[in-house]
């Protein structure tokens, strides 16, 4: 058994979810909605209309002052010096040994002022990490007072625009503006974890319920539904977005995970750089691939990948894809077997089930690239 509900942390909307009929589950120490009506229905709602997610469990750290950029550059793998004010960047915290502490999005709020958004289950670990390794600057953990909603889907832009007091249609992908949404002051970020166009809205925790209600009300005509963590997982899996703790962790190299594009050794030293460059020089021995099952059988985290009976890798994520109506997954596979089309077996409860390396994303991204 996991933790008892009494020990779980709650977002400002926990009671709203319970009232809406959500099934609540423990996730990373939080009492979170896994589904409201059903994962498949919620998934399709996001792909075809618009869905609203409470992701206030995510953590937010701010760092500011003359040393802020230097501290961020030291602890993260991507090059923060290229960020304009109003821009967002996907990045990693890495260990000196080259494994991953966490993945995050980095916001440049002002000239010497940044925000890092980190995974809920990693907040304490990441906070200890950044404050230890980014010393001499002013770090602030604003996780508790910051609420976060994601509005995702083809009708997300129209909905947010109707409620916003600023032009959000001009905000490019991985950029943000500050503005009011339904009268609530927000950081309006054109980002997400679904492969759909949409926004993530950072708002004061105390105002989150009124923002949630306004979006639910304003999106009625669009067919808006609240979306739980279950569909959040199937949506991100269809895009082959990594989930920390499943697909990436302290034992995986960013290069194996296909995240070399957010590792910028040319920017100067950062924690993990030497170890990662060693891996780059030697070449990776395994790669994180997407695969599809050729029959209806679900590969789950931890299942073994086999070729002619020999172990060649391991499943890191797997589920049924509501968009493709096929079972898909992600896993680390021996590098020579990683090209799309390679066939192998997944050991599912002692039986070999055939799978094939797929081209990813499994479903084309509709995020607004600019």
Partner 1 sequence: MANVPADLRYTKEHEWAKLEGDKARVGITAFAQEQLGDVVFVELPKVGAKVSAMKTFGVVESVKAVSDLFAPLTGEVVEINAELPKKPELVNSDPYGKGWMIVIKLANPKEWETLMSAADYEKLVASAGH
| Interface residues toward partner 1, by CB under 8 A | 23, 34-35, 38-40, 230, 233-234, 296-298, 300, 319-320, 322, 327, 349
Nearer to partner 1, 23 or 207 (CB): 23
Nearer to partner 1, 319 or 360 (CB): 319
Identify the sign of the CA torsion 318, 40, 362, 263. Answer: negative
Return d(Cα 210, Cα 207) in angstroms, integer. 6
Find the shortest distance in angstroms from Cβ 42 to partner 1. 10
Nearer to partner 1, 42 or 102 (CB): 42
Find the shortest distance in angstroms from Cβ 38 to partner 1. 5
Find the shortest distance in angstroms from Cβ 120 to partner 1. 18
Between the alpha carbon of residue 364 and those of residues 197, 239, 245, 360, 367, the distances in Å are 12, 8, 25, 8, 9
Q: Are 107 and 186 in contact (CB under 8 A)?
A: no
Nearer to partner 1, 258 or 322 (CB): 322
Nearest to 270 by CA among 134, 362, 156, 146: 134
DSSP 328: E
DSSP 137: S
Find the shortest distance in angstroms from Cβ 323 to partner 1. 12
Strands 146-152 and 51-54, sheet pairing: antiparallel
Q: Are 95 and 250 in contact (CB under 8 A)?
A: yes
Find the shortest distance in angstroms from Cβ 238 to partner 1. 12
Q: Are 296 and 360 in contact (CB under 8 A)?
A: no
Find the shortest distance in angstroms from Cβ 103 to partner 1. 22
Nearer to partner 1, 38 or 86 (CB): 38
Return d(Cα 181, Cα 328) in angstroms, integer. 37
Q: Who's near 93: CB < 8 A, 6+ residues apart?
A: 75, 76, 77, 100, 101, 102, 103, 104, 118, 126, 129, 130, 271
Nearer to partner 1, 4 or 370 (CB): 4
Nearer to partner 1, 57 or 74 (CB): 57
Find the shortest distance in angstroms from Cβ 252 to partner 1. 23
Nearer to partner 1, 287 or 353 (CB): 353
Between the alpha carbon of residue 219 and those of residues 13, 207, 214, 223, the distances in Å are 18, 18, 8, 6
Nearest to 330 by CA among 319, 318, 338: 318
3 state SS of 67:
coil
Nearer to partner 1, 349 or 369 (CB): 349
Find the shortest distance in angstroms from Cβ 7 to partner 1. 16
Find the shortest distance in angstroms from Cβ 327 to partner 1. 7
Q: Are 35 and 23 in contact (CB under 8 A)?
A: yes
């Amino acid at each position: 058994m996991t933790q008892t509900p009494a020990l779980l942390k709650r977002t400002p909307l926990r009671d709203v979810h319970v009232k809406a009929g959500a099934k609540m589950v423990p996730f990373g120490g939080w009492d979170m909605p896994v589904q409201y009506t059903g994962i498949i229905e919620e998934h399709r709602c996001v792909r075809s209309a618009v869905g609203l997610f409470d992701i206030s469990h995510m953590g937010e750290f701010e760092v500011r002052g003359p040393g802020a950029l230097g501290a961020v550059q030291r602890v993260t793998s991507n090059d923060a010096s290229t960020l304009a004010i109003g821009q967002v960047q996907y990045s990693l915290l890495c260990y000196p040994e080259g494994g991953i502490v966490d993945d995050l999005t980095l916001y440049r709020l002002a000239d010497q002022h940044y925000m890092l958004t980190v995974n809920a289950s990693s907040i304490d670990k990441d906070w200890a990490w950044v404050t230890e390794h980014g010393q001499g600057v002013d770090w602030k953990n604003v996780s508790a007072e910051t609420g976060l909603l994601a509005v995702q889907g083809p009708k997300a832009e129209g909905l947010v625009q109707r409620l916003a007091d600023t032009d959000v249609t001009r905000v490019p992908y991985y950029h943000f503006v500050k503005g009011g949404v339904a009268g609530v002051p927000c950081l309006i970020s054109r980002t997400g974890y679904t492969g759909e166009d949409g926004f993530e809205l950072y708002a004061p925790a105390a105002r989150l319920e009124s923002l949630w209600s306004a979006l639910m009300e304003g999106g009625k005509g669009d067919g808006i539904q609240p979306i739980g963590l279950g569909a959040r997982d199937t949506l991100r899996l269809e895009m082959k977005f990594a989930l920390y703790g499943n697909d990436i962790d302290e034992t995986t190299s960013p290069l194996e995970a296909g995240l070399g594009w957010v590792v910028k050794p040319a920017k100067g030293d950062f924690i993990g750089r030497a170890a990662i460059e060693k891996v780059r020089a030697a070449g990776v021995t395994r790669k994180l691939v997407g695969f599809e099952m050729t029959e209806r059988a679900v590969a789950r985290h931890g299942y073994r990948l086999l070729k002619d009976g020999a172990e060649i890798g391991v499943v890191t994520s797997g589920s049924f894809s509501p968009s493709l109506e096929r079972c898909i997954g992600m896993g680390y596979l021996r590098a020579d077997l990683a090209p799309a089309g390679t066939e192998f077996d997944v050991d599912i409860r002692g039986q070999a089930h055939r799978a094939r390396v797929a081209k990813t994303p499994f479903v084309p991204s509709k995020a607004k690239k600019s």
